[in-house]
Amino acid sequence: RELILPFTKHITTGLPFLSVKLAMTLDGRIADRKRHSKWITGAPARAEVQRMRKRADAVMVGAGTVCADDPSLLCRLPDSGDLMRVVVDSTGCTPEGARVYTDGATERTIVATTPRGAARKGKAWARRGARVWTFVADGGGRVPLRKLLRKLGKEGYLHVLCEGGGTLTGGLNDAGLVDEFALFYAPALLGDALAVSGVAGRGSLLSRMKKGKFVSVRHLGEDVLICLRP
């Protein structure tokens, strides 16, 4: 049943199954106030993320994650297939020299942007070999996330793994698009109100807060992985 969840979601809705992975401190921070995030969790947790990437068809991040961390987003495990990388960059702020545009696997990079972002960087991304998808911006000037996921579904990507950051995760959560949260917690707190939150959306009042269901809880070295489904 678990193995066919992405297929079932796609057949019934046209959307991919969306997993969100976050590596956080116990107070829900994914980076300190200087946007340093390497490393909050340990090697066993990072190895599990590689296994999650291997099971996914595409991995998605926001522009802030690319600017702050310059990740490759590739799966380093053998026989991992052609994992697609999706960068959500509404304003065209990700640098042309980022690894997702220069690491020799740019044909596996999709940039989802708006006309504003495309005007600023679209030609440069395309020259690097990336696929540029331009969407009419939503009311906040951002890429409409449901339309992006629907297009990914039409392209045959049944399981998308979002790896942050907080703004993208918050937007997906606000829109009710998340099927599963994989929450990696380190045994530490930053205790800083200016540190980066893992989920930075509109949120809700406590009276309207929706509870999910814990699917699993397990230790990975010093860290804990909690699987939650809304």
CATH code of the domain covering residue 198: 3.40.430.10
Looking at the structure of the chain, the number of domains it has is 1
Residue 139's alpha-carbon distances to 146, 225, 230, in angstroms, are 13, 35, 25
6 phi/psi in degrees, rounded to 5: -60, -40
pLDDT at 94: 96
Residue 133's alpha-carbon distances to 49, 106, 141, 158, in angstroms, are 26, 14, 15, 18
48 contact partners, CB below 8 Å, separation of at least 6:
184, 220, 225
Domain residue limits at 122: 5-229
| 164 — pLDDT class (breaks 50, 70, 90) | confident
pLDDT tens by residue, 77-94? 988 778 999 999 999 999
pLDDT tens by residue, 55-74? 999 999 999 999 989 999 99
Q: Tell me the pTM.
A: 0.93
Calculate mean pLDDT across residues 83-111. Answer: 95
Q: Could you give the 3-state DSSP secondary structure of residue 189?
A: coil
